[in-house]
Homo-oligomer: A and B are copies of this chain.
Amino acid sequence: MTPMTPHHLRVFSAPTFSRRTAPVASIAADRWALGRIQHAVASARVRLVLWDGFDLPPAGGAPVATIVFKNRRALLASIWDPDLNLGEAYMFGAVEIYGDLVAALNEIYRALDRRTPRPWWLGQRSNDPRAARENVHRHYDLGNDFYRLWLDREMVYTCAYFPTPDDTLEAAQVAKMDLVCRKLALKPGDRVVEAGCGWGSLALFMARHYGVAVRAFNVSPEQIAFARNRAREESLSDRVEFVEDDYRNMRGEYDAFVSVGMLEHVGPADYGALGGLIARSLTAHGRGLLHFIGRSQPGALNPWIRKRIFPGAHIPTLPEVVEGVLEPGDFSALDVENLRLHYAATLDHWRRRFEGAAGEVAEMFDETFVRAWRLYLAGSQAAFTTGSMQLFQIVFARGSSNAIPWTRGT
């Protein structure tokens, strides 16, 4: 692989915090500030410590982790804008978390009031095709060899489906792809269009196991190159076409539309256009499936995640998607499933594999990158575990179509 140094430099090169432990004693104002943080997460069983050893134990119970602020700037910035700066300070080593990182984040998520709505996205700019391409590039083009270190064999970078909690990640990703195909009621000869196909695993799976013809869109050159290569290796190139283009340039008529893990990258300003596009693309009795990370209360994506991990992302509620995408397309929701705990399990697998390969990742990139991704993976696991984030699969069809499954078993 070619390590994506240019990106990596641009995304992560300028540290916003120093990792240096302050050589001075904390003063009353520092301790007051630490107290404000403890107050904000009062019920979280975490121990808060300043650079000189001053500490506040949790109000109740033994601590699951210890959070150390190594200098005054990290402390004050964390008070000023905790959503952004705790992530920033952690990634550059100005905050250390000792103990179980996921457990610590679970405690903090549960302690925070999730009900405060911050509809910052009202008036959010549209992710035009160029911005969309750039956003995707910054995340998905970090190098296939990087993702290969910790994804499953099929390179599926979306929530898996574990028939039982003990299934392997490999089995669960295959089970997820099969679940999607069954929900779409695919049959041999169907024409399927996929918006945002990652490394092509689902497109290839559908062609291989359900005998359909697939046209799959993705703006990531690294992913498309990888997917095309797989199609050739598996002699599926005649049935799976990987198109390196924005999904908005989709043309033609299809029996099924599927999108797994792409809606998060579509701004709400573009939902109506997406609904219209699907409506133009599907036959009268076509079926659609949207698989996406959602939330139960409207709100902003964590700003640190948005800055460092997923630029341009938006995590919608179910109503935002039904009103924004389905209603303008004149579709009816047929079936919705929330797989949040499956995403927590998926992330647990990814995070353990990532930690096992942390040395290699640090060599590919650097320690700051490892810390940022460690926090992203652990934080996401905590968000799905505590219900701060959801994973929805919506199946839909035109309101006028009666060619819909009679029951879930059929």
Contact = CB atoms under 8 A, between A and B. Distances in A.
Interface of A: 110, 114-115, 161-165, 296-298, 317-320, 322-323, 326-327, 330-338, 340-341, 385-388, 390, 392, 398-402, 404, 406-408
Nearest to A410: B164
Nearest to A330: B115
Contact of A399 (B337, B387, B398, B401): B387
B408 A326 contact: no
> In the complex, which of the residues A322, A390, A398, A408 has the most CB atoms of chain B within 10 Å of its own CB atom?
A322
Contacts of A110: 400
> In the complex, which of the residues A165, A326, A327 has the most CB atoms of chain B within 10 Å of its own CB atom?
A327
> In the complex, which of the residues A333, A341, A398, A408 has the most CB atoms of chain B within 10 Å of its own CB atom?
A333
A165 B406 contact: yes
Contact of A114 (B318, B340, B399, B406): B399
A229 B165 CA distance: 46
Contacts of A402: 341, 385, 387
A296 B336 contact: no
Contacts of A163: 407
Contacts of A401: 387
A288 to B, nearest CB: 13
Contact of A326 (B296, B327, B340): B296
> In the complex, which of the residues A162, A331, A392, A402 has the most CB atoms of chain B within 10 Å of its own CB atom?
A402
Contacts of A406: 162, 164-165, 341
Number of copies: 2
- List of 3 A-B pairs having minimum Cβ-Cβ separation, nearest first: A319-B319, A336-B336, A387-B399
Given A115-B330, A296-B331, A334-B337, 9 more contacts: A161-B407, A296-B333, A297-B327, A318-B333, A319-B322, A333-B392, A335-B336, A387-B401, A408-B408
Given A326-B296, A327-B296, A327-B297, A337 B408 contact: yes
17 contacts: A114-B330, A163-B407, A165-B406, A296-B331, A297-B399, A298-B327, A317-B323, A318-B318, A318-B333, A319-B322, A332-B338, A332-B387, A332-B390, A333-B336, A387-B398, A387-B402, A388-B399
Contacts of A340: 332
A327 B299 CA distance: 12
Contacts of A334: 337-338
A408 B318 CA distance: 19
Nearest to A113: B330
A405 to B, nearest CB: 9
Given A110-B400, A322-B319, A296 B332 contact: yes
Contacts of A161: 407
Contacts of A408: 337, 408
B335 A338 contact: yes
